Amino acid sequence: MLAIVNQLVANLKMTVRNKQALVWTFVMPVVLMLLFGMAFGGSETLVLKAGIVDEAKNDFSKQFVESLEKIEAFKVSRKSRGEELKALREGDRALVIILPKSFGEGAIKLIESKKKAEAMAKTAAETGAQPGDTRGAPEASATGAIAAPKVETSKLEVYIDKTNPSLAGTSRSMLNQIVLSMNQKVTGSPELFKIDERQISSRKYSNIDFFAAGILSMFIMNGGSVAVVMILVSYRERGILRRLMATPMSISSFIGSQIAVRVIIALMQMALLLAIAIWVFGAHVAGSPWLLSAIVVEGALVFIALGFAIASFANSDQTAMAVANIITMPMMFLSGVFFPTEMFPKFMQPLIKVLPLTYLSRALREVMMKGSGFEAVAKDMGILALFGIVIFLVSVRAFRWE
């Protein structure tokens, strides 16, 4: 135990004396947080998402859904009523549209009435019947025309997040255009479709809330993988690892101290970044700090294992950094660090799902932004743990001391 503590102290001293490491560990996170905070701290939303629940499932409801999906400004989600309204209250939707079972019934009745009128007019023209002759046509009026049926207006239940007035106005305008178009398609009809708007207050997020979790996850990845690769490969090239094997210190003490240092640094980064995000830019951390710390520790362990794995196959500093960049750079931009993963094309989604940083950043946001408990992040943490186990086994099998 004493050997581990001594090695831990020695590693911390070496990290402090390494100016380049200090810059990447503490200065760069602060610079990025400041830049993103100044650029996006005043914005209130990231993506305009619309939830739609089609309970009618008829031609008119399908037409409405198709029209909504064609509007590029909307990213349409189709889940149950309860799931969509819950997402709206949590700030994950700009609006939710419910098409009730009665949606479109009035239009269907009106169209059927018009078809009957056209059929009677055609029959009358073929038989030479006079306009006032209503024999055999009980539904006809005294003028020979089909009496227009009484139809009810179909209402769309539209739930809008009122905490963002500008997006609410944009959403309202687009929906009005769709409804107007549907009314006009039923020629000569009354107002068959109408919006029944209901406002809901959601949890209010800012873009800095989103970026804070992303930047934290990015530096956990870099601190765990890139920093470990640089240290281990440098030690191997200079013969330090070989000389360590000749000392009384055990291999487990050396590896344990390396892991402990990176985990401590990850927790320090978390404290520093969140302090700046909260006190300078007004970010919110809604969840448990203990759960957040557990996720940070798990993420650090996974990427430390990745660093050991990369160092196992690299023969020089240049090769190690090249391999580390090839692995970490795609994760930095595809794993939701700076942009929601939903923004990427569908063909890229399978790739996004095999990146461990995806699950780390998602779990951090779930706790920081939504205040979720362990149940909500258990799946992401479980997948992250599987990544860590696999990578750790690879690194144990392939690691070289010389």
**How does DSSP assign 55-120, residue by residue?**
SS-SHHHHHHHHHHHT-TT-EEE---HHHHHHHHHTTS-SEEEEE-TTTTHHHHHHHHHHHHHHHH
For residues 101-125, average pLDDT: 67
The pLDDT mean for the chain works out to 76
117, 146 in Cβ contact below 8 A? yes
pLDDT at 19 over 50: yes
> Which position has the higher pLDDT, 264 or 59?
264
Does pTM surpass 0.85?
Answer: no
For residues 163-192, average pLDDT: 70
Q: Is 136 exposed, middle or buried (0-12, 13-18, 19+ CB in 10 A)?
A: exposed
Q: Give residue 71's pLDDT band: very low, low, confident or very high (50, 70, 90).
A: confident
Most confident stretch, 63-67, 166-170, 297-301: 297-301
157, 61 in Cβ contact below 8 A? no
Q: Give residue 124's pLDDT band: very low, low, confident or very high (50, 70, 90).
A: low
> Which position has the higher pLDDT, 237 or 54?
54
- Which pLDDT does position 299 carry in this prediction? 92
| Order of all β-strands in the sheet with 154-161 | 75-77, 49-54, 95-99, 154-161, 193-200
- Which pLDDT does position 167 carry in this prediction? 66
Q: Which fold has domain 49-107+147-200?
A: abc type-2 transporter like fold (3.40.1710)
**CA-based nearest residue to 199, from 88, 76, 102:** 88
Q: Give residue 142's pLDDT band: very low, low, confident or very high (50, 70, 90).
A: very low
67, 112 in Cβ contact below 8 A? no
For residues 31-36, average pLDDT: 60
168, 162 in Cβ contact below 8 A? yes
Most confident stretch, 84-93, 171-180, 338-347, 372-381: 372-381
**% residues pLDDT > 90 (the chain):** 9
- Which pLDDT does position 387 carry in this prediction? 92
For residues 66-80, average pLDDT: 82
pLDDT at 384 over 90: yes
What are the tens digits of pLDDT across the range 319-364?
777 778 778 877 887 888 887 777 677 777 888 889 999 999 999 9
Positive/negative CA dihedral, 213, 218, 221, 223 = negative
Rg of the chain, C-alpha, whole Å: 31
**CA-based nearest residue to 311, from 219, 399, 251:** 399
Helix (H) or strand (E) holding 200: strand 193-200
- Which pLDDT does position 126 carry in this prediction? 67
Helical ranges in 138-188 per DSSP H: 165-185
Q: Give residue 110's pLDDT band: very low, low, confident or very high (50, 70, 90).
A: low
Half-sphere exposure of 86 (CA within 13 A, CB side): 6
85, 159 in Cβ contact below 8 A? yes
Domain ranges of the chain: 7-41+206-398, 49-107+147-200
> Which position has the higher pLDDT, 388 or 91?
388
